[in-house]
């Protein structure tokens, strides 16, 4: 079922989108929390080194706890001073270097240490991060009472490498979870919507059976009304009865047809190559007299030799619905234009356009035109006969034929365009 397929597809998309959103929130939260904790640890180390004048006792480490409990460095007190690679520079307020301590790093020359220290001071920020030769360094600047700048530059390559690794692995894991969930939902969705599918099938059977059951009493009513006319002559009562009989018959036929539309696209035995030029031309010609009686005009611009492999009855009904709708809602004295174009170099491709004058079309909600029983502006349509299911049937015919139908309005003209 086309509706069932749409429902299943929408269910999969919505469920997958919800999981994608949830996974993204979790990934961002975990990585942001880890980043904040890492930067807090780095800042604690820099402050600790600064507080000890650039020296680290062998058995000492920051004692602040991280967001998730104890600090990992507390478990390595004996190795902390050996694991931490850093340098310190002491400079006066004019930038003249007073002292450099490079005992705990081999990544900088003396000139580079001075250069990076001066660059850090020139940024105007007390702390920050920079890269050098693929390594990542953090710095902290403190100022004493004599305006001397004490700069600590510490190697944080391991910490940032861990951050990047967590980000990469969490993204891969998140993507794997999304794919696995999407596959699972795709498999389970068929089972989940089975009750709805069964309900739809029951509705279709009910409509078909009820339609056949109602046709008999309606036919009897029609025959009796016609018999009364033969005996007593025509009257407003028999005219009203016959008019309602015809209207109800049309409604029943439309509902039964709508319940069976999917068969037109699914049953390959019903398909054959048909001449769209002949079909569209014949339908357009049949409406010219009706339109003329209403003071309207039907014009046709139909390309020759346009062919399509499809169900003949389905395409005939589609064309009939669109032209009937155009004639019915065309402005008084207006024109209905029926256009058929084949796509050159592409077999079984066509564009059918049915347009009519419709000055009151501005501001209409065209997104709802293909909904069942939707009739737009009731004040405008109150004088028009119909049930609001014609365009819905047209849309389902097009979908059964794996085509596309669109509606648009511009310059006082409404266009219904079918492509296939």
Residues 350 and 419 sit within 8 Å (Cβ to Cβ): yes
Flag whether pLDDT at 344 surpasses 70. no
**Per-residue pLDDT at 69:** 46
| Residue carrying the six token digits 């004048």 | 53
Q: Which token pair is 26?
A: 């979790």
Alpha carbon 208 to its chain centroid, in Å, reads 35
Flag whether pLDDT at 356 surpasses 90. yes
Q: Which token pair is 296?
A: 């309207």
Lowest mean pLDDT among 186-190, 276-280, 331-335: 186-190
Element at 101 (helix H, strand E): strand 97-101
Flag whether pLDDT at 77 surpasses 60. no
Q: What is the mean pLDDT of residues 177-191?
A: 86
Rounded CA separation 410/415 (Å): 8
Give per-residue pLDDT as tens, 194-243: 777 677 677 667 666 776 677 778 788 888 888 888 888 888 888 888 87
Domain boundaries 268-419, CATH class: alpha beta
Q: What is the mean pLDDT of the chain?
A: 81
**Per-residue pLDDT at 21:** 93
**Per-residue pLDDT at 376:** 60
Q: What is the mean pLDDT of residues 258-283?
A: 76
pTM: 0.54
Please give the C-alpha separations between residue 4 and each of 187, 197, 357, 384, in angstroms, as whole numbers: 15, 7, 36, 32
**Per-residue pLDDT at 258:** 65
**Per-residue pLDDT at 81:** 66
C-alpha count within 13 angstroms, C-beta hemisphere, residue 104: 22
Strands 97-101 and 86-91: antiparallel
What CATH code is assigned to 194-259? 1.10.287.130
Residues 151 and 91 sit within 8 Å (Cβ to Cβ): yes
**Per-residue pLDDT at 379:** 40
pLDDT interval class at 373 (50, 70, 90): low
**Among 411, 413, 397, which Cα is nearest to 2's?**
397
Give per-residue pLDDT as tens, 13-52: 888 899 999 999 999 999 999 999 999 989 988 888 888 8
**Among 165, 155, 117, 111, which Cα is nearest to 133's?**
155
Q: Which token pair is 125?
A: 């920020």
Rounded CA separation 44/156 (Å): 13
Percent of the chain exceeding pLDDT 70 equals: 80
**Per-residue pLDDT at 207:** 65
Q: Which residue has the higher pLDDT, 213 or 54?
A: 54
C-alpha count within 13 angstroms, C-beta hemisphere, residue 48: 19
Rounded CA separation 172/88 (Å): 39
Q: How many residues does the chain have?
A: 420
Rounded CA separation 32/28 (Å): 6
Q: Which token pair is 238?
A: 């028999």
Give per-residue pLDDT as tens, 112-128: 888 888 888 888 788 99
Flag whether pLDDT at 90 surpasses 50. yes
Write down the domain spans for the chain: 2-163, 194-259, 268-419
Beta bridge partners of 353: 339, 417
Q: Which token pair is 213?
A: 């059951």
pLDDT interval class at 352 (50, 70, 90): very high
Give per-residue pLDDT as tens, 379-416: 444 445 555 677 888 888 888 788 899 999 988 999 99
């Amino acid at each position: 079922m086309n509706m069932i397929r749409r429902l299943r597809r929408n269910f999969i998309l919505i469920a997958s989108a919800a999981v994608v959103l949830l996974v993204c929130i979790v990934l961002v939260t975990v990585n942001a929390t880890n980043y904040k904790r890492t930067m807090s640890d780095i800042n604690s180390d820099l402050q600790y080194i600064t507080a000890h004048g650039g020296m680290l006792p062998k058995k000492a480490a920051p004692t602040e706890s991280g967001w998730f409990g104890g600090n990992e460095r507390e478990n390595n007190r004996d190795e902390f001073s050996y694991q931490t690679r850093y340098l310190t520079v002491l400079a006066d307020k004019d930038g003249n270097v007073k002292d450099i301590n490079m005992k705990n790093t081999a990544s900088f020359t003396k000139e580079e240490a001075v250069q990076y220290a001066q660059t850090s001071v020139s940024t105007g920020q007390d702390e920050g991060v920079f890269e050098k030769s693929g390594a990542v360094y953090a710095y902290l600047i403190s100022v004493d009472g004599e305006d001397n700048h004490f700069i600590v530059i510490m190697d944080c390559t391991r910490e940032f490498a861990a951050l990047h690794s967590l980000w990469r692995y969490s993204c891969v894991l998140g993507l794997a979870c999304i794919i696995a969930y999407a596959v699972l939902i795709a498999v389970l969705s068929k089972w989940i919507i089975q009750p709805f599918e069964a309900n739809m099938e029951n509705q279709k059977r009910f409509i078909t059976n009820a339609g056949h059951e109602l046709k008999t009493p309606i036919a009897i009513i029609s025959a009796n009304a016609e018999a009364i006319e033969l005996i007593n002559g025509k009257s407003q009562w028999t005219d009203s009865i016959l008019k309602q009989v015809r209207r109800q018959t049309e409604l029943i036929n439309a509902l039964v047809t709508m319940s069976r539309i999917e068969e037109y696209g699914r049953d390959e035995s019903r398909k054959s190559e048909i001449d769209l030029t002949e079909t569209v031309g014949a339908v357009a010609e049949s409406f010219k007299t009706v339109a003329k009686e209403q003071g309207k005009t039907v014009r046709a611009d139909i390309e020759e030799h346009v062919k399509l492999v499809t169900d003949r009855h389905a395409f005939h009904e589609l064309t009939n619905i669109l032209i009937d709708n155009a004639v019915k809602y065309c402005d008084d004295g207006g024109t209905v234009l029926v256009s058929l174009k084949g796509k050159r170099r592409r077999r079984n491709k066509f564009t059918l356009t049915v347009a009519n004058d419709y000055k009151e079309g501005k501001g209409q909600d065209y997104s709802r035109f293909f909904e069942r029983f939707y009739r737009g502006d009731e004040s405008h349509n109150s004088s028009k006969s119909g049930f609001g299911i014609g365009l819905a049937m047209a849309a389902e015919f097009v979908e059964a034929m794996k085509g596309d139908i669109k509606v648009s309005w511009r310059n006082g003209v409404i266009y219904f365009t079918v492509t296939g």
